[in-house]
Amino acid sequence: MNSSSGKTIIITGGAGFIGSHVVRLFVTKYPDYRIVNLDALTYAGNLENLLDIEKAPNYFFEKTDILDTQAIDEIFVKYQPHGIIHLAAESHVDRSILSPLDFVYTNVIGTVNLLQAARKHWTGQFDDKRFYHVSTDEVYGALGETGLFTEETRYDPHSPYSASKAASDHFVRAYHDTYGLPIVLSNCSNNYGPNHFPEKLIPLFINNIITKKPLPVYGDGLYTRDWLFVKDHALAIDKVFHHGRNGQTFNIGGFNEWRNIDLVKLLCKQMDEKLGNAPGTSEPLITYVKDRPGHDRRYAIDATKINQELGWAPSVTFEEGLSQTIDWYLQNTAWLENVTSGVYQQYYAEQYSKR
């Protein structure tokens, strides 16, 4: 889809972690677009993420659940969107182990609801339309010591989260193959950065170092993830949305693998420097706890295709990105305090009382 003026784009999940960075990028970079943030504001949705752009004339917010077929229908009528960038999802593996059905509803049925609405309202007039589904590398399953996920890697999800995302990916491709819906997909590795909800590894551990609480490392700590700075993911989404060929999938990752324990030690080191602690102050907080069931050993993305076809590459090193992320959390203590109160506390108690 080219970037000519006057387009209306619905971004689902725009109040969440990645979605808020995508909304900000599109609102500021494309002043001629109307950007509609469609979000149900679950525990993970936070409009405080978007305070700096909420008054922009091209920004609109709709508090809507993607499971609400009638409301989605009305939004298509009201805005006549040219594009959907679909990020709304239940996104946390540990929550999916506790409540798998929530993941089936939002990630699978919610996605099909949106596909149905696009199919119904675009009525075969697909020339200037695009449905972009944002997905995860976790659909590919787990790697051993070597190898990388390519776009051709067979799907092999293990958690209810990754199974639900895999199902949604299949539905998006099915709507392309069956009804001709113009689609693109991307499967990205683990993101980190500002506005990350503090139940995921990096923000949880930043918060626990600040508050001097234990750092619960699952299992032997040798699980490996491929980390990408969230703003680089948003830039990749911009490229894929505008220039990815119809029907194509792009893997997005930073060629940046870290074993959890090494990442946590780097985080402790950077935090001690920034907090003015003596070297080695925070590492003793590391506590090995019971492993996550079905824990995937290693994820690593081959991002050659998006690099060669769309010219995208990460802009920051992990050390720089992590440093910027820590600075953001240290400068936004009110955000962190608001998020870590209430519902989050109940979840935290349930999740860690058994470990």
Chain residues binding ligand NAD by CB under 6 A are 12-13, 15-19, 39-42, 44-45, 65-67, 87-91, 106, 110, 134-136, 165, 188, 190-191, 197
134 in helix, strand or coil?
A: strand
| HSE toward the beta carbon, residue 334, CA cutoff 13 A | 2
- Closest distance between ligand NAD and the C-beta of residue 352, in Å? 19
Instruction: Point out which span in 76-84, 139-147, 196-204, 307-315 binds ligand TYD (CB under 6 A).
Output: 196-204
Single out the residue of 20, 107, 190, 325 in contact with ligand TYD (rule: CB under 6 A). Answer: 190
**Separation of alpha carbons 319 and 266, rounded Å:** 9
Strands (E), the chain: 8-12, 34-39, 59-63, 83-86, 130-136, 183-188, 190-192, 215-218, 224-229, 249-252, 257-259, 286-289
Instruction: Point out which span in 35-43, 213-221, 233-241, 316-324 binds ligand TYD (CB under 6 A).
Output: 213-221
Please tell me whether residue 260 binds ligand TYD under the rule CB under 6 A.
yes
Please tell me whether residue 165 binds ligand TYD under the rule CB under 6 A.
no
Residue 201's binding partner, choosing from ligand TYD, ligand NAD, none, with beta-carbon cut-off 5 to 8 A by kind?
Answer: ligand TYD
**Separation of alpha carbons 23 and 15, rounded Å:** 8
User: Is the CB of 95 or the CB of 285 nearer to ligand NAD?
Assistant: 95
Residue 19's binding partner, choosing from ligand NAD, ligand TYD, none, with beta-carbon cut-off 5 to 8 A by kind?
Answer: ligand NAD
Token pair for 261: 């324990």
Please tell me whether residue 329 binds ligand TYD under the rule CB under 6 A.
no
- What Å distances lie between residue 304 and 56, 165, 207, 236, CA to CA? 36, 23, 34, 13
Residue 282's binding partner, choosing from ligand NAD, ligand TYD, none, with beta-carbon cut-off 5 to 8 A by kind?
Answer: none
Contact 117, 76 (CB under 8 A): yes
Please tell me whether residue 218 binds ligand TYD under the rule CB under 6 A.
yes
